Structure formats: structure tokens, C-alpha cells
């Protein structure tokens, strides 16, 4: 099966500054891929290279089997939705959307039909005569999407389109964009720095770091089976605890922490010596009295602070000389600062590299 988008060994350097280091990526038809990473990791540069707004210093980019490196921007059949919608301020919504169709020699009645259909897909059927400045932020972004999809591109690219919207709007738009992509089935690459966005929207997540692909896989894979410390830390709330292995017989090692408490840590490969363990906040539980379990260990601590989120509560517990964050559903009342508690951690919750 030929991938719709095939990136092979693509690098980009600005003078001495190497921004992207030889990345390979193959995106099958119809897939929604998120390019995720902190700012400066090269994700936007990669997107722009696919669009043709930047030239790769090395490597090849193929779309539907055809090498597009030397094809100019306006001849690639790509739809790009920009971070700040980039709607033409002096044209109406209709003219904005119709813009791409004009340069594809589409007949006027056909243009009308397609623009109207695009407006329906983004659920804004009645705004065609308005100017961008007469639309709200969310509406502007949807028109931008309509403009990109109406040309029926081979590939749809999004450059952090939701970062300039406020929180509630962002949530709503996530669902909208996903629905639109599903409806049209266009291969899509979505650049974002927001991990929850990537996890909730994408079929496939590509995590980038310093110009390289750190890890690629389904959202589930990246969240639960991170293959590097960077990947582990990127998602969710992660604690770091150091200790010394005192016993590593069998599948469960015993690790002694700073003030003497002993943890049971499940591990596939043998542990020894000093170890650094990572723990996701939601895998632990703060309880008043722990139930003794073979598959979990518990350590003592004192609640330092609690943040109430309605259905969740986040505790910061002082234990073993450090602060450990724990996120859990709220059962009963909230533990108050100063209370003595126990943190219960399943053996297999520990992540280690």
C-alpha cells in the first residue's frame, strides 16, 4: 500500500542551525496524524516543507507516489490551515473560500456549488457575504478550513490552528475538525504542541524532539508505553523518584528510597544500583489506610496541598524528602494539608529507562 504522504530522510538546516535531522514518515491514506512536540522541535518546519513553503536541505517528499521536492507551492495540491486563519481581510467569506477554485479553472456555477457545500461541512451556511472581521474567532477558523478543503486537496495540513482560540472554543473545534476529517477522509497532518489535543484527535501520533522523531505510534502506545524519558514526561503529570536497588530477584525489584521506604517495582529487565523512576500522577492513590496488596507498595507521607478540580483532586504529598503529585477521582472528602496519608502505587506503574 503506497502511503499518501511519504517523507524519506528529510532534513532542514538554516546555515549552521540544523532544525530537522533526517526524518522518515509514511502516512497512509485517510489517516489523521498529529505532529507533536515542544516549540522548536521542527514540527512546523516539517509541515512547511510538505506544503512547499520551505525547501528540504536533504531528503525526498512524496505525495501519492510522486516526488514533490521541486514542485512549487502553488502547484502542489495541498490544503493548509494556518495558525491565525490567514483569511484575506478584503474578501468576503465566499471569495476567500472560492479563491483556490479560481486558479483551478473551475466554472462559476461549480464554484458556487462547491463553496456552499464546504460551508455546510463546516456548519456555517449563512455567512458567505461577511468579511473576516465580521466573524468570530471560531467562525474565522472554520472558514479557513472550508477554504482549504474546497479545493479537494490530496493532503490537508494544519499548523497549530487552535492555539489562538480560547479554551472552550478549542474543545469544540477539536471535535469539529475531527468530524470534518472523518467525513471527507482526507489524509491529514496536524501540528500541535498540546498533548491532549494530539491524543484526543489523532489516529497516529508522531512525537518530535530536537528535529528528530522521538517516538511514533497510536495515542495509547505513546501514553502508556513511552520509549524514552522525554516521551514519558511529555504526556501528563510525571513524578521522578530516585532510589537504590536492594533486591532484584525475579520480576519484582525492591528499591529503597531516600528516607528508607521500600518500593516494589515490576520490571522486565533486571535493575541494579541507583535508579531513577518515573510515575504518572494518576497511577498512584492517596489513601488514609492502605490495603495490603501484593501488586502494590505504599509509602507514608503528609499532604502538602490539594487542588480541587470538581470530579478530580490533585494532591501534593511530602514523602521521602520530596514532593509527589497524585491525581485521583474524588471519593468522599478531600484530604487536608497536614494530614498523614499513604500513597499506594501499583508495582507496574513505574516507568524506567
Q: What's the order of all strands across the beta sheet hosting 285-287?
A: 285-287, 340-346, 296-308, 312-319, 322-329
DSSP assignment letter at 249: -
What track of x and - describes contact with another protein for positions 243 through 282 (by CB under 8 A)? ----------------------------------------
Residues that contact another protein, how many (by CB under 8 A): 36
Tally: H helices and E strands in the chain: 8, 20
What track of x and - describes contact with another protein for positions 19 through 58 (by CB under 8 A)? -------------------------xx--x--xxxxx---
Q: How far is the CB of 155 from another protein (least distance, A)?
A: 11
User: By C-beta, is 186 or 351 nearer to another protein?
Assistant: 186
Given a contact cutoff of 8 angstroms between Cβ atoms, the answer to whether 281 and 335 are in contact is: no
Restricted to residues 56-85, the positions that interact with another protein (CB under 8 A) are 72-76, 78-80, 82-84
User: By C-beta, is 148 or 207 nearer to another protein?
Assistant: 148
**Of the candidate residues 8, 28, 59, 99, the single one contacting another protein (CB under 8 A):** 99
Q: What is the CA 87 to chain-centroid distance, rounded?
A: 25
**Of the candidate residues 31, 46, 92, 344, the single one contacting another protein (CB under 8 A):** 92
3-state secondary structure 18-77: EEEEEEEEEECCCCEEEEECCCCCCHHHHHHHHHCCCCCCEEEEEECCEECCCCCHHHCC
Q: What is the CA 147 to chain-centroid distance, rounded?
A: 24
Q: How far is the CB of 136 from another protein (least distance, A)?
A: 17
- Considering only CA atoms, which of 151, 161, 160, 162 is closest in space to residue 184? 151
At 109, list the grid cell: 456555477
**Of the candidate residues 18, 21, 59, 86, the single one contacting another protein (CB under 8 A):** 86
**Of the candidate residues 58, 60, 67, 88, the single one contacting another protein (CB under 8 A):** 88
Task: Tell me the β-bridge partners of 7.
Answer: 25, 61
Q: What is the CA 296 to chain-centroid distance, rounded?
A: 31
Task: Tell me the β-bridge partners of 342.
Answer: 287, 300
Q: Does 353 bind another protein (CB under 8 A)?
A: no
Given a contact cutoff of 8 angstroms between Cβ atoms, the answer to whether 198 and 235 are in contact is: no
User: By C-beta, is 14 or 308 nearer to another protein?
Assistant: 14
Restricted to residues 116-135, the positions that interact with another protein (CB under 8 A) are 129, 131
User: By C-beta, is 14 or 225 nearer to another protein?
Assistant: 14
What track of x and - describes contact with another protein for positions 148 through 177 (by CB under 8 A)? x--x-------x------------------
Q: How far is the CB of 177 from another protein (least distance, A)?
A: 18
Q: Does 18 bind another protein (CB under 8 A)?
A: no
Distance CA 115, CA 151 (A): 9
Q: How far is the CB of 123 from another protein (least distance, A)?
A: 22
Q: How far is the CB of 129 from another protein (least distance, A)?
A: 5
**Of the candidate residues 66, 90, 108, 182, the single one contacting another protein (CB under 8 A):** 90
Q: How far is the CB of 212 from another protein (least distance, A)?
A: 19
Distance CA 84, CA 92 (A): 17
User: By C-beta, is 24 or 129 nearer to another protein?
Assistant: 129
At 218, list the grid cell: 497510536
Q: How far is the CB of 326 from another protein (least distance, A)?
A: 38
Distance CA 115, CA 131 (A): 15
Q: Where are the alpha helices (DSSP H) in the chain?
A: 43-51, 93-102, 108-121, 137-149, 167-184, 195-201, 219-224, 229-234
* Site residues, another protein (CB under 8 A): 14, 44-45, 48, 51-55, 72-76, 78-80, 82-84, 86-90, 92, 99-100, 103-104, 129, 131, 147-148, 151, 159
Amino acid at each position: 500500500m503506497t502511503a499518501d504522504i511519504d517523507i524519506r530522510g528529510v532534513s532542514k538546516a538554516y546555515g549552521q542551525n540544523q532544525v530537522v535531522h533526517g526524518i522518515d514518515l509514511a502516512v497512509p491514506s485517510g489517516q489523521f496524524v498529529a505532529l507533536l512536540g515542544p516549540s522548536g522541535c521542527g514540527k512546523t518546519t516539517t509541515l512547511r516543507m510538505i506544503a512547499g513553503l520551505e525547501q528540504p536541505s536533504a531528503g525526498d517528499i512524496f505525495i501519492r507516489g510522486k516526488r514533490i521536492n521541486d514542485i512549487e507551492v502553488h502547484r502542489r495540491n495541498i490544503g493548509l490551515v494556518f495558525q491565525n486563519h490567514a483569511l484575506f481581510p478584503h474578501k468576503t467569506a465566499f471569495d476567500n473560500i472560492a479563491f483556490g477554485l479560481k486558479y483551478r479553472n473551475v466554472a462559476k456555477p461549480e464554484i458556487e456549488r462547491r463553496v456552499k457545500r464546504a460551508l455546510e461541512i463546516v456548519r456555517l451556511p449563512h455567512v458567505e457575504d461577511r468579511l473576516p472581521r465580521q466573524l468570530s474567532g471560531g467562525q474565522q477558523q472554520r472558514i479557513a478550513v472550508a477554504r482549504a478543503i474546497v479545493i479537494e486537496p490530496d493532503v490537508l495540513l494544519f499548523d497549530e490552528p487552535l492555539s489562538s482560540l480560547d479554551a472552550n472554543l478549542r474543545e469544540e473545534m477539536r471535535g469539529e475538525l475531527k468530524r470534518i476529517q472523518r467525513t471527507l477522509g482526507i489524509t491529514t497532518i496536524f501540528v500541535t504542541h498540546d498533548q491532549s489535543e494530539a491524543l484526543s484527535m489523532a489516529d497516529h501520533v508522531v512525537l518530535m524532539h530536537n528535529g528528530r522523531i522521538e517516538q511514533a505510534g497510536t495515542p495509547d502506545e505513546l501514553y502508556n508505553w513511552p520509549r524514552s524519558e522525554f516521551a514519558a514526561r511529555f504526556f501528563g503529570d510525571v513524578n521522578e523518584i530516585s532510589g537504590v536497588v536492594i533486591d532484584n530477584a525475579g520480576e519484582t525489584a525492591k528499591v529503597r528510597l531516600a528516607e528508607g521506604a521500600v518500593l516494589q517495582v515490576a520490571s522486565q529487565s533486571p535493575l541494579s544500583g541507583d535508579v531513577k523512576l518515573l510515575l504518572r500522577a494518576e497511577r498512584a492513590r492517596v489513601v488514609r489506610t492502605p490495603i495490603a496488596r501484593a501488586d502494590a507498595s505504599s509509602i507514608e507521607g503528609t499532604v502538602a496541598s490539594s487542588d480541587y478540580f470538581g470530579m478530580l483532586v490533585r494532591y501534593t504529598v511530602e514523602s521521602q524528602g520530596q514532593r509527589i503529585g497524585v491525581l485521583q477521582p474524588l471519593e468522599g472528602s478531600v484530604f487536608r494539608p497536614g494530614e498523614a496519608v499513604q500513597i499506594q502505587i501499583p508495582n507496574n506503574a513505574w516507568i524506567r529507562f
